[in-house]
Homo-oligomer: A and B are copies of this chain.
């Protein structure tokens, strides 16, 4: 094989198209407001057909959020595998998750306002957190050697806890919504890493109970 998963022209083109779509989506959303951006506009701005848009993203919101979520979730698996093997499971998981939702690239300012104040984008953004579940389940299964339900359940619990943290982080000021209005108070609840640690602390006992290293 000349190239299959990385340097190949095909792969690079796909990545470029995805990137172009995502960037165009975000730019248009910021320019005209997320409600005023049609899928066709995004496709056109990226130079592909509308049909192709849906080959890359399965919803109008997905492309916008992808520009902001930056596959953060997918990297949790790698982060977890790289933690020292003698670290307690709970600590490893918590640090791996928090590390991916630390400062760099997190929506802030205009971006955050955009996502937080639009129902569809908020839902989509919160939904991206679920992507951490599979990688974590695999990592826990490897660590514990358990082949049953437990790793899946624990990963689901961790993912759910992270989701709650993100929900509470990005919760808008309840009343105002949509409409590019004026000053909406968002993210009053503290930093995301702090929220994540608080949330994950509640499920930590379950991880500890499943940790073969510290019975």
Do residues B203 and A203 form an inter-chain contact, with CB atoms below 8 A? yes
A149 CB contact (under 8 Å) in B152, B160, B198, B205? B198
Main SS at interface, chain A: helix
Do residues B157 and A161 form an inter-chain contact, with CB atoms below 8 A? yes
Verify if A153 is at the interface (C-beta below 8 Å from B).
Answer: yes
Kindly report how many copies of this chain are found in the complex they form together: 2
Do residues A156 and B163 form an inter-chain contact, with CB atoms below 8 A? yes
Verify if A208 is at the interface (C-beta below 8 Å from B).
Answer: yes
Do residues B157 and A202 form an inter-chain contact, with CB atoms below 8 A? yes
In the complex, chain B residues whose CB is within 8 Å of the CB of A163: 156
In the complex, chain B residues whose CB is within 8 Å of the CB of A154: 202-203
* Distance of A13 Cα from B156 Cα, bound (Å): 40
In the complex, chain B residues whose CB is within 8 Å of the CB of A202: 149-150, 153-154, 157, 206, 209-210
Do residues B149 and A156 form an inter-chain contact, with CB atoms below 8 A? no
Of all chain B residues, the one with the shortest Cβ separation from A156 is: B160
Do residues A204 and B206 form an inter-chain contact, with CB atoms below 8 A? yes
In the complex, chain B residues whose CB is within 8 Å of the CB of A24: none
CB of A40, distance to nearest CB on chain B (Å): 24
